[in-house]
Structure 1
Amino acid sequence: MKRLAAAGLTIAAAVAASAPALAADLPQPAEPYTYNEPVPAERFDWSGFYFGGHLGWNWSDFQTNNAVTGRFNTRDNGVTGGVHAGYNYMLTPEFLLGAEADFSLSDIEKSRTVAGVNYKTSSDWNGTLRARAGWAFDRFLVFGTGGMAIADIDAAANGVSKDSVRVGWTAGAGIEGAVTQNITARVEYQYQNYGSDKFAIGGQTYKTDLDNNQVRFGMSYKF
């Protein structure tokens, strides 16, 4: 009897020890599948104040009319550079409105002798105050711009000179890209028209118009 009891206990212990291994070999229920929707990348925010500098090339065309010389042109081109500052506001995730002001120095000077008169025209600086509107493709921006322009004009006939500050208008367009979260780079074109001004020099009246065409590369820091 005792031998039977001992044998029964031995068999029961063996079965208990092998139960976990047998359970591990049995098919396990599959874990439920959970779908994690990807988080969309954050769009670049063009809103805010910015400040920067620009460098480019300026083409100037002075058109002059006088009773003695008739109508003639003095044209020059050269390097222009300066600073700009502005503010952007995103009306929608894509559409931007803003305002910008800039000031540039240039070295435009040209002389021409017509009908015995040596006439020289020059302009040392110009500035603009403009609205901007653009369409953002995340980190890239295509924009148009237009507003007021101001420049100095100097005219001289046979060594006698007069100067003036003219207010006109400007329009242009460009593209801009975000290099980092705070640094942007741009390429833009501006046409500037300053209308006509009259210079009374040496008893003669010279009517001079000024047009500028500028292509500029710039970089800005966005706050």
Structure 2
Amino acid sequence: MRKRYWATLALALLHGPAFAQESNVVGQGFYGGPVLGVDGFAGDDTDEGQTGVVYGGVIGYDVTIGGAVLGVETEFTDSSVGESEDGFLIPGDSLRLGIGADLYLGARAGLRVGTSGLIYLKGGYTNLDLDADYRDPSGFEINATRDFDGYRLGAGAEFALARNLIARVEYRYSNYDGGDRNDPFADLEIERHQGVAGLLFRF
């Protein structure tokens, strides 16, 4: 009788951690949360790039097939990257160029590492807004926004902190061009290198 009692207790203790690990499995269902990181921006005709902060949010959906994870996600971000120049055309005027909204839509594929980890690759379409603001000494002001289509490639890793809480680190490269050959920006190529971290909630 005593042996059966201790055997039952041992099985219960051993089963507990296994159950807890299963509750932290990554790579299944809807998720979303904020992302924050470093944004490196450069045009093909610039000697030096600009660095700032990228921030926003991501939502997505994953399915698990064996040890693989396949998913789709969309992300919306903004950036602090920008540059100002005084005396651009005449004394007393100013011009500011800045990174605006960035919309990403893509897919990812990854491999589970244990029950709490995931490594993945991603890729998809991205659309970037560039904002320009010109002011002259008389108070005259012109605001303009130009959007650029491009692609994004990236790689990252995730780790389940709790059943519905995931930490993410990711590197991604984005490339944009001017598009149509008749467009005055057709020869302009823009590159971005970003390293971001996210705290995601799985639903």
Residues 62-95 of structure 1, C-alpha deviations (whole Å, 9 max, x = no match): 234xxxxxxx446211011101100010011x10
SS of the aligned residue for 1:41 comes to: helix
Equivalent residue number for residue 220 of structure 1: 200
Flag the 1:206–1:110 CA change in 2: closer, same or farther, 3 A: farther
- Aligned residue in 1 for 2:153: 171
CA distance in 2: counterparts of 1:166 and 1:45, whole angstroms: 34
| 1:107 corresponds to | 80
Indicate yes or no: 2:65 matched with 1:91.
Answer: yes
Residues 5-154 of structure 1: pairs in structure 2 closer than 5 A: 41-42=18-19, 43=22, 44-64=25-45, 72-73=46-47, 75-92=49-66, 94-110=67-83, 121-137=97-113, 138-154=115-131
Unaligned runs of 5+ in 2: 137-141
| 1:188-213 deviations in Å (ceiling 9; x for gaps) | 0111111136876xxxx794321111
**Share of identical aligned residues, percent?**
27
Greater relative contact order (Cα 8 A, min sep 6): structure 1 or 2?
Answer: 2
The C-alpha deviation readout for 1:4-38, integer Å capped at 9, x for no partner, is xxxxxxxxxxxxxxxxxxxxxxxxxxx99xx9887
The C-alpha deviation readout for 1:84-120, integer Å capped at 9, x for no partner, is 100010011x10000111111112212579xx99986
Cα drift, residue 157 of structure 1? 8.8
Within the candidate set 168, 172, 184, 2:166 is matched to 184
Q: How many residues align?
A: 177
TM-score by length of 1: 0.67
Q: CA deviation at 1:167?
A: 1.3
Using structure 2 for the length normalisation, give the TM-score. 0.73
Change (3 A) 1:151 1:83: same
Structure 1 runs (4+) deviating above 6 angstroms are 35-38, 116-119, 156-161
